[in-house]
Each structure stands twice: as C-alpha cells, then as structure tokens.
Amino acid sequence: MLHTEQTSNAMLEENLSAWLFYNLHHKDPISDRILNVSRTAVNTRPWIYLLRRDGSAEKLVHGIEEKILDHLAGRKRVYTSRQKFLTHLKDMAGGLQQVACQFSSELPGISFLDHGTARLLQDCGFTLTGAFSMIQRILGVLDQEGIDSHHRAADHLYDIVEEVWKRLRKEMRSDTPVWETTVQGWILGLFEELDLTTDSAPIVAVEAHSADPHYSPETENSERGAVLKSDSILQLDLWAKEKEPGAVYADISWVGVLGTHTPPRAEAAFRTVVEARELALRFIEETLSNGQSVSGEQVDRQVRAFVEQSGYGEYLRHRTGHSIGEEVHGFGVNLDSVEFPDPRLLLEGSCFSIEPGLYLDEFGLRSEINVYISSGRPAVSGKKPQFELLYF
C-alpha cells in the first residue's frame, strides 16, 4: 500500500517534512493498512515509523517485538526502556518541521493518535499536524483495479434488490408472513451465492422503523423484527464487496411500497430525495467541468439548501454521503457540512455515496447511489439508479 515516490510527492505538495505512523494494540487501522502490518502481528509495545519527504525512513520498535516492521525500508532503532524510547524520539525529531500524524479535532473517522502520545511527541520536538489529506491521497482514492472491484459489487447489489423485490411480491401475494429478518436472510443468502462479504447485516426497515437511519431488528422485542404489511413503506440498505483481498465495497439504498398504492406524502418526500441526489451529482459534474475543485463540504451544503427550500429541512438527520473503500465507510472525503464538515477535495479516484434521506415520524426514505471521480468527471457505478418508488 505504501508507495514511497507517491507519498513523497504528496508530502511536498502538502508542505510536510515527514509522516509519522504510531501504533499500539493495533488501535490505528490506517497505520496498519498503509504500512501493511498484519493485524495478527503481536503489538503489545508502541512502534513508530517515520517516513521523510526525501524518501528516507526510520523505525522505532521494542526489543521484544523488533521484527514487526522488518518488511519496511529504513534504519531500525530498538528500545527496551522508556528513557531509550524518549532519547530516540528526540533524535528522530531533529531538523523536521511539520510532521503529519493520524489525528484530527474535526474528522474523528481518521483520528487515532491518542492525546497523551501526541503530547509526548510534541515534548520530544515534533511539530504535529493532521494527516487527513495524506490519508485521503493514499487510502481515499481508487486505482483502476479498485474501481473495477467496486463496479462488480455494485452490479451485484442492484441485481439483488431486483431479486428480493420479485420474491417479496410473490410471498406477500400468497399471504405468506414475511418479517424484516426474513428479507435480511434472503439478502445475506444472495451475498453468499455471489461470493460477497459484508461487515454487518443489511437494513430492512418497514414503516416507522425506516425513520431510524441505522435501524436493526435487534432493537425490537421480537428477534424477527416487524412483520411486513400491505401498503407499508420499506427501506432497503445493503452493502457488500467481493471476498478477494483489496476488494472495494458498494453501498446502495432503495425504497418501495408493499402494494400498489403510494401514499401522497411518501411520494412527495421521495421525489425531493431523488431531486436532491441528482442535484448533488450535477453540482459535482458542473464544478469539475469548469476546472474548479469541489469539496465534500460544498456538495453537502448544496443539498441541504435545496432540501430546506423544499420544506423538508427539519427531516434531515445525516450527511449527504460517505467515502467508500475497502471499508464501507472509507477514509476518504465525506459529503458533510454539518456533522463533521469535510474540507477535503474530491480527487481523481475518490469514491463515495450520495444518499440524502428524509426521516419523518411515520417513515423514512433514503436513496443511495455510489459515485467515483474518473478522468475529472463523476461516474455512477452499478446499474440504473432508482427514480421511482418500487411497488407491486
């Protein structure tokens, strides 16, 4: 994952002297991922890897775990006492100016360096700054192999939604009881058939449950969740990736009505959600086509303004979208101007969801597509997005 030339060029552009990686008990998945440190490696003592802008590197490891970074280039320093640890740190800090680390007061999703260690590093002479732009450049963009993996997963998810809806129509027309967990089981079974994996079960939420963006049947008194009833609103949210190492997630949300009659209030809210989704896509397209950069914060602000003007502002409960990578919520830029405003730019290879949602008392609606930046333009992955509510 670590490409020294690419990283050095990025540090030059970000005006950084070095990038410092620190880990203990594998608390920082970013450091492990970028440096290709196995999650099964014993990590009971702190280690540090310092990569300088000129491509040189140093590693500081404990004597009983001194081989943990042996796969990486650079001078190895070994400590067996706190005093030696501090002595080495002070020596390593010499001559450096701004040094990037995995911490941020604004973006908690990439903040893993604890406050105590940050203070210790500063006391030893390091001038620290957040590594969020570096992280995005390394982990927050996809190469062509990643894009292809993402596309395959997205195509499968669209097929699964179609298959699940056909089965729902058949089962409910035959008056067969169907619970939320029944549909979850169908989706997970299709994941297995298609050799896909996921970090958690899909969201299957009916009526008021769909008003909870992260609903799970486990919150119900019944382990089976709610039974699906005719003419109810049903929210489906599913995410998965191939089982191969380095595979990239896809993550989509669709909404349907379990019958032939669509409540007018639901239709109006859904129309607003779809228009907000498409507005975000157009804004990105137009801004990039004009040769300008666009941040996640800017996109979210546009969507919020539109939803508020449409009279639904009070029903917004989350950001417009999140980064997608080897994790369903990746380490790249999020479309967010309110929760944790993200000033990072959508770069070539950035992959993210666009998923505005409205959450009323009696139901919620969310329409989610996945987008990546290719040749300076946004490209929608998967098959045809949802423009109309599903119905029987």
Three-state secondary structure readout of the chain: CCCHHHHHHHHHHCCCCEEEEEECCCCCHHHHHHHCCCCCCCCCCCEEEEEECCCCEEEEEEHHHCCCCCCCCCEEEEECCHHHHHHHHHHHHCCCCEEEECCCCCCHHHCCCCHHHHHHHHHCCCEEEECHHHHHHHHCECCHHHHHHHHHHHHHHHHHHHHHHHHHHHHHHCCCCCEHHHHHHHHHHHHHHCCEECCCCCEEEEHHHHHCCCCCHHHCCCCCCCECCCCCEEEEEEEEEECCCCCCCEEEEEEEECCCCCCHHHHHHHHHHHHHHHHHHHHHHHHHHCCCCCEHHHHHHHHHHHHHHCCCHHHCCCCCECECCCCCCCCCCCECCCCCCCCCECCCCEEEEECCEEECCCCEEECEEEEEEECCEEEECCCCCCCCCECC
* Per-residue model confidence (pLDDT) at position 29: 95
Residue 91's contacts (CB-CB under 8 Å, 6 or more residues apart) are: none
pLDDT band for position 175 (50/70/90)?
confident
For the chain, the first-to-last Cα distance in angstroms comes to: 47
* Per-residue pLDDT tens digits for 223-247: 789 999 999 999 999 999 999 999 9
Mean pLDDT of 197-204: 97
Domains of the chain: 4-139 (3.40.350.10), 144-380 (3.90.230.10)
* Per-residue pLDDT tens digits for 140-170: 999 999 999 999 999 999 999 999 999 999 9
- Please count the CA atoms within 13 angstroms of the CA of 88 that sit on its side-chain side: 21
pLDDT above 70 as % of the chain: 99
* Per-residue model confidence (pLDDT) at position 221: 61
Angle 144-173/180-193 helices, nearest 10 degrees? 140
pLDDT band for position 218 (50/70/90)?
confident
* Per-residue model confidence (pLDDT) at position 262: 86
Cβ burial, residue 228 (10 Å; 0-12/13-18/19+):
buried
CA separation (Å) from 157 to 70, 143, 381? 40, 21, 11
Residue 222 pLDDT greater than 90, yes or no: no
* Per-residue model confidence (pLDDT) at position 70: 98
* Per-residue model confidence (pLDDT) at position 1: 64
* Per-residue model confidence (pLDDT) at position 48: 98
pLDDT band for position 125 (50/70/90)?
very high
* Per-residue model confidence (pLDDT) at position 220: 64
* Per-residue model confidence (pLDDT) at position 160: 98
Mean pLDDT of 181-208: 97
Average pLDDT along the chain: 96
Mean pLDDT of 74-101: 98
Cβ burial, residue 259 (10 Å; 0-12/13-18/19+):
middle
Residue 364 pLDDT greater than 90, yes or no: yes
Mean pLDDT of 163-188: 95
Distance CA 40, CA 322 (A): 28
Mean pLDDT of 102-111: 93
* Per-residue pLDDT tens digits for 309-362: 999 999 999 999 999 999 999 999 999 999 999 999 999 999 999 999 999 999
* Per-residue pLDDT tens digits for 286-309: 999 999 999 999 999 999 999 999
pLDDT band for position 59 (50/70/90)?
very high
* Per-residue model confidence (pLDDT) at position 152: 98
* Per-residue model confidence (pLDDT) at position 224: 85
Q: How many CB atoms lie within 10 A of CB 67?
A: 11
Q: How many CB atoms lie within 10 A of CB 58?
A: 18
Distance CA 224, CA 325 (A): 31
